[in-house]
Structure 1
Amino acid sequence: MTLPRPHRDDLLIAAGGLAIGLLMWSFGLHTQTDRPIDARWATLVPLLVMAAMEALRRTLPQTALTIGTLALVADQFTYGSLVTALMFTDVVYAAVVYGSPASARRVPWSTGLITIGVTIGFLVWWQNAAALVIGLITGMVSFLPAVTGAVVRNHRETAEAARLRAEQTALLAEMDRSQAVVAERARMARELHDMVANHLSAIAIHSTAALSLDEAATTRQALTVIRENSVEGLAEMRRLIGLLRDSSGDAEPAAAPTLAGLEALIAQARTNGRSSGLAFTLVDTREEDGARLPAPVELAAYRIVQESLTNALKHASAGAVGVFLGRDARSLTVRVTSPIGDRPGPRAPGSGAGLVGMRERVALLGGEFEAGPVPDGNGSKTWQVRAVLPAEERTPEA
C-alpha cells in the first residue's frame, strides 16, 4: 500500500523540531539526569521517531499518535528531550483535529483518564505532593492538547456547516429566482399571446382576402378591419409594454379585463368573422346575486373566451360560434363551441400556444380544462373548449 504524501507544512514542522532537538542535545540540555540508559545517543532515537511522526501528523494522525506515544514512553528511559515532549503535544493536537470523528471523540477522554490515572498512581506510590506535579505535567502534555484540538475542530466544523448552509441557501434562492423568472416569462407569454393573437389573426385573414379577391368593396372592407385591428393591437401592445417598464409611480396600471367586456369582445369577433360566415352569440346564465368573482378568475375566463374566439376565427368553418357562461356557488363554467369542417376563404396559421396557455391559466387557479371535438346532436361534431374555474381563489394542487 502506498503511504500518503506528507503535507509540506508538516515536513517543515518536523524538520524544525528535529533541528532544535539536535541543537539542545549538542549542548547537553536534557530533562533528566539519572535514567536506566546512560548513553547520550539514546536520547536521539525517540527524538528522530517523534520528528518522523510530526511529518505524518496530518496524513496519518492515528498512526502518528500511537507511535509517538511509544516514543514518548521510551524517552523517559533516556536523559530525555524537551523537544520530544513538545512535539508529542502537537501530535496529540493533530490526532484530534485531523483524525476521524470517532478518534476526535476518543482521544480527549483517553488522555483525561490517563492524566487522572497517572496522578492517582504516583500519589499511592510516592505519597507526597510531588505526584501532583507529575499529574499536572501529564495533563499538559496529553489532555490539554487534546482539549485544544477538540475546541478547534468543533469551531472548524461549525464554520463548515455554516458555509454549507449559506451555499444551500444561496442555491435555493437562485432556484426560487429562476422559477420566478420562468413563471413570469410564461405569464407574459400568455398575456402577449392572448392580447395580440386575436388582432393579428384578423389582420392575416383579411389581408389574404384582400390580396386574393379582386373586388373593390371586399378590399375596402378588409382594409377597414385590418386598420381597426392594427390600431387596437398596437394599443394592447403599448399597454403591455407600459406594464413591463419601471414605473415612476405617476402612471396607474391598466385595469385587467373582466367578463363585463365580453359583449365588446364578441362584437369585435362578429366584425372580424363576417367574411368567413361566422356568427357569434353569447349566452350568460349566471345569477345576479351580487357576488363578485376574484380578479384572477375573471381575467382567466375573459382570456379563455378571447383565445377561443381567435381559434374559431382561424379554424372554424362557417356557422355559429357560441359562448356560454354559467355559475353556481362554487365554480364558474366557461364553454365555447365552434363548427368543425372546411370553409372557403383564407385561414390564419396556428401555433398551438393558445391551448397551452388556456390550460396553464386554469391549472394555476386549480380548475378543470378540456378541449376537443364533441357531438352536436345532429350527427356531426363541434369543437368545444370547456373550463371550470373556482369561484374563490385557491392554491392549485401539487
Structure 2
Amino acid sequence: MRSAVRWLGGRPGLIDVVIAGALALTVGYSIVDPPGPASRWPVWSAWLVGVVLAAPVSVRRRWPLPALAAAGTAATLATVLGAVTAGMLLLSFAPTVLVLYLVACTASRVRSSAALMACLITASAAIVFFYRDVLPTLAPALDRSELPPYWPVELGATAAAMGVAWALGLLVRARRDAHAGLARQLAHTAVIEERLRISRELHDLIGHSMSLIAVKATVANHIADARPDEVRAALNTIEHTSRTTLNEIRRILGGLRADADPYHHGPPTGLAGLPELADRMRSTGLHVDLTITADGLPPSGVDTSVYRIVQEALTNVTTHTTATTCRVTVTLTGREVAIEVTDPGPLRPAGKPADGGYGLIGMRERVTLYGGSFHAGPSADGGFRVAAHLPFAPGGAAS
C-alpha cells in the first residue's frame, strides 16, 4: 500500500486523471439519480456530461488557466442548458473549484483574483438562470426530497467552495514562496560562511608564513657579514616558505574556482602536517617540543582546524613573545581533540593582549564552530598558554 502511494505521489498528472474519473462518475450518478426534478436530457447523456465537466481537471497542472476557462464554461453551459439537476449544481462546479485552487497556487494574485471573480459571476448567473427559467419546465420529482432544491443554498455553497479553494491556494503559494526565500537565504548564508572560512584560512596561512619570513630576513640582515653560511640557510628557509605558501594559496583559490574541496590536494594540513610545521618553526630559532597522541584520525574539518590552531599559536609565539622554546601537545581520543600550546614568554613590548588580534579570534571561531572550548591567556609561570578542545561524534561528524 505504501509503495503504491509513493508511486502515485511521484506522478501528480496521473492523480489528476484519477480525480477527474471519480468526478465524472459522481456527476453522472447525480444526474441519473437526482434529489429533485430530473433533467430532460436522455439518461445516457449523464455520463457524457460528467466526462465533459471533469476532463479539465486531468490537465490542470499543465495548463491551469485554460483548464479553468474550460471547466467554468462547461459547468455554466451544462447548468443553463439543463443538463444537470437541481439540488446538485455544486457538483457541476466542483471541477471548476479544483482547477481554481491550482490557479491560485501557481498564478499571480492579480490573475487568480480575476479568475475567482469570473468564476463567481458566471456561476451565480448560471444558478439563478437555472432556478428561474429551467427548473419550472422540468417534471416534478416522483419522491419528495429530504433536501428540497433552494437556489440561495446552492448559490452560497458554490460561492463558498470557490472562495475556500482560492484562499487555500493563496496560502499554499505563500508558504512555497516563504520556503523558497528561506532556501535562498540559507544558500546566501552558506556562501558568506564559506568566504569567512576561506578568509580565515588565508589569514592563518599568510600570517604564519610572513612572520616566518620576517624573522629569517631579520636574522639574515644582522649576520650578513659575520656568518654568510647562516645567511644562506635563512634564505633557503625564506625560499621554501614562500614557495609552500604560494602553493597553498593556489590550492585554496583553485579549489574555489573548481568548486571542490580545497584540502583534497597539496601539502598535509592536519595532524600529519604538524611535524613539518614544527621543523619550519625550529628553523626560525624557536625550539618546538611536539607531542602527538592519537588513536586514529578526526574528521577532515576538525583535522584541518587542529593544524590551523597550532599554526596560529606558534605564529603568535614568534611574533608577540621573546620565547625561544615552546611546547605543543595534541591528544586525540575517540570523541575530541585536545590542543595545548605553551611558551615561557615574556611578551614583547608591542605584543598583543590576551584577547586581541585576529589570530586568537580566528582560533576561537574555529573552536566555537565545533561546539568546543577555547582559552588563551597568561600562564602561572609568566608565559602564555593556548588550550582548545574540539569535540566530534565517534562516527566522524562534528558534534
Give the TM-score normalised by structure 2: 0.54
Question: How do 1:82-121 residues align onto structure 2 when only pairs under 5 Å count?
Answer: none
Give 5+ residue unaligned stretches, structure 2: 1-112, 114-130, 132-139
**Quick check: 2:378–2:384 contact (8 Å CA) kept in 1?**
yes
2:331 aligned with 1:320: no
2:173 aligned with 1:163: yes
**Quick check: 2:267–2:273 contact (8 Å CA) kept in 1?**
no
Give secondary structure in 2 for the equivalent of 1:281: strand
2:260 aligned with 1:259: no
2:338 aligned with 1:339: no
Amino acid in structure 1 at the alignment position of 2:163 = R
Cα shift at 1:157:
0.2
| 1:348–1:374 distance in 2 versus 1, CA, 3 Å | closer
**Distance (whole Å) between structure 1 residues aligned to residue 352 and residue 209 of structure 2:** 11
**Quick check: 2:247–2:266 contact (8 Å CA) kept in 1?**
no
Which of 291, 305, 308 aligns to 1:283? It is 291
Amino acid in structure 1 at the alignment position of 2:282 = R
Cα shift at 1:360:
2.1
Report the counterpart of residue 139 of structure 1 in structure 2.
Answer: 150
Report the counterpart of residue 119 of structure 2 in structure 1.
Answer: none
**Distance (whole Å) between structure 1 residues aligned to residue 190 and residue 274 of structure 2:** 31
Cα shift at 1:213:
7.4
Give secondary structure in 2 for the equivalent of 1:340: coil
Q: Which digits, 9 at most, give the CA deviation of each residue in 1:317-364, with x for residues without a partner?
A: 1331111123445433211012332559x9899982222222222222
Give secondary structure in 1 for the equivalent of 2:258: coil
**Quick check: 1:205–1:348 contact (8 Å CA) kept in 2?**
no
**Distance (whole Å) between structure 1 residues aligned to residue 249 and residue 213 of structure 2:** 15
**Distance (whole Å) between structure 2 residues aligned to residue 341 and residue 252 of structure 1:** 39
Q: Which digits, 9 at most, give the CA deviation of each residue in 1:36-67, with x for residues without a partner?
A: xxxxxxxxxxxxxxxxxxxxxxxxxxxxxxxx
Amino acid in structure 2 at the alignment position of 1:310 = T
2:386 aligned with 1:361: no
**Distance (whole Å) between structure 2 residues aligned to residue 238 and residue 328 of structure 1:** 33
2:399 aligned with 1:387: no
Which of 243, 251, 270 aligns to 1:231? It is 243
- Of the two, which has the highest radius of gyration? 1
Cα shift at 1:269:
0.5
Which of 237, 241, 252 aligns to 2:253? It is 241
Amino acid in structure 2 at the alignment position of 1:305 = V
**Quick check: 2:323–2:343 contact (8 Å CA) kept in 1?**
no
| 1:347–1:184 distance in 2 versus 1, CA, 3 Å | same
Give secondary structure in 2 for the equivalent of 1:245: helix
Question: How do 1:161-240 residues align onto structure 2 when only pairs under 5 Å count?
Answer: 161-207=171-217, 215=225, 217=228, 222-240=234-252
Amino acid in structure 2 at the alignment position of 1:203 = I
Give secondary structure in 2 for the equivalent of 1:322: strand
Give secondary structure in 2 for the equivalent of 1:144: helix
Cα shift at 1:375:
0.6
Pick which of 358-367 and 251-260 moved more: 251-260
**Distance (whole Å) between structure 2 residues aligned to residue 239 and residue 364 of structure 1:** 23
Give the TM-score normalised by structure 1: 0.54
Q: Which digits, 9 at most, give the CA deviation of each residue in 1:97-140, with x for residues without a partner?
A: 9xxxxxxxxxxxxxxxxx9xxxxxxxxxxxx99xx9xx97x822
| 1:163–1:362 distance in 2 versus 1, CA, 3 Å | same
Cα shift at 1:280:
1.8
Amino acid in structure 2 at the alignment position of 1:266 = A
**Distance (whole Å) between structure 2 residues aligned to residue 139 and residue 301 of structure 1:** 79
Cα shift at 1:147:
1.8
**Quick check: 1:318–1:343 contact (8 Å CA) kept in 2?**
no
Give secondary structure in 2 for the equivalent of 1:257: coil
Cα shift at 1:150:
0.5
Cα shift at 1:189:
1.8
2:310 aligned with 1:299: no
**Quick check: 1:332–1:389 contact (8 Å CA) kept in 2?**
yes
**Distance (whole Å) between structure 2 residues aligned to residue 324 and residue 291 of structure 1:** 16
Amino acid in structure 2 at the alignment position of 1:237 = I
| 1:334–1:173 distance in 2 versus 1, CA, 3 Å | same
**Distance (whole Å) between structure 1 residues aligned to residue 386 and residue 200 of structure 2:** 17
| 1:224–1:372 distance in 2 versus 1, CA, 3 Å | same
**Distance (whole Å) between structure 2 residues aligned to residue 247 and residue 184 of structure 1:** 11
Give secondary structure in 1 for the equivalent of 2:330: strand
Give secondary structure in 1 for the equivalent of 2:150: helix
Q: How many residues align?
A: 254
| 1:175–1:192 distance in 2 versus 1, CA, 3 Å | same
Q: Which digits, 9 at most, give the CA deviation of each residue in 1:171-230, with x for residues without a partner?
A: 211221122112211221222222332111122334455667774647655544332221
Give 5+ residue unaligned stretches, structure 1: 1-96, 98-114, 116-127
